[in-house]
Amino acid sequence: MRAFIFILFISLFLKTNSIHAQNNVGKFGLEIVNPKIGLNVGGYRGRTPETDGLFNQGVSGFGQIYFPFQMAIDYRKNFSDTISEPNEYNNRVFLIRSSALFHLIDNGSYAFGLAIQFSWLLFNEFYIEYQLSPSYIEATKESAPDLNSGFNLHHYVSLSKPITNYLSLSLGIVHISNAGLSNQKGSNHDLMSIGFKFNF
Domain boundaries, position 109: 26-199
Q: How far apart are alpha carbons 151 and 4 in whole angstroms? A: 69
CATH number of 69's domain: 2.40.160.20
% of the chain surpassing 70 pLDDT? 82
Report how many domains make up the chain: 1
Q: Is 18 among the domain residues?
A: no
Q: pLDDT per residue over 95-137, tens digit each?
A: 999 999 999 999 899 999 999 999 999 988 899 999 999 999 9
Phi-psi category of 54—alpha, beta or left, where left has phi over 0 and alpha has psi -120 to 50? beta
Rounded to two decimals, the pTM is 0.80
In a domain, 42, yes or no: yes
Instruction: List Cα–Cα distances, 150 to 35, 46, 158, 162, in angstroms.
Output: 30, 17, 25, 35
Q: Which of 187, 160, 161, 165 lies closest to 175 in space, CA to CA?
A: 187
Structure confidence by residue, pLDDT tens digits, 29-61: 888 888 899 999 999 888 777 776 787 788 999
State whether residue 63 is helix, strand or coil.
strand
Asked if pLDDT for residue 8 goes beyond 90, the answer is no
Higher pLDDT among residues 53 and 151, named by residue: 151
Tell me the C-alpha distance between 137 and 181, whole Å. 15
Domain assignment present for residue 132? The answer is yes
Q: Is residue 101 in some structural domain?
A: yes
How far apart CA 10 and CA 19 sit, in angstroms, is 14
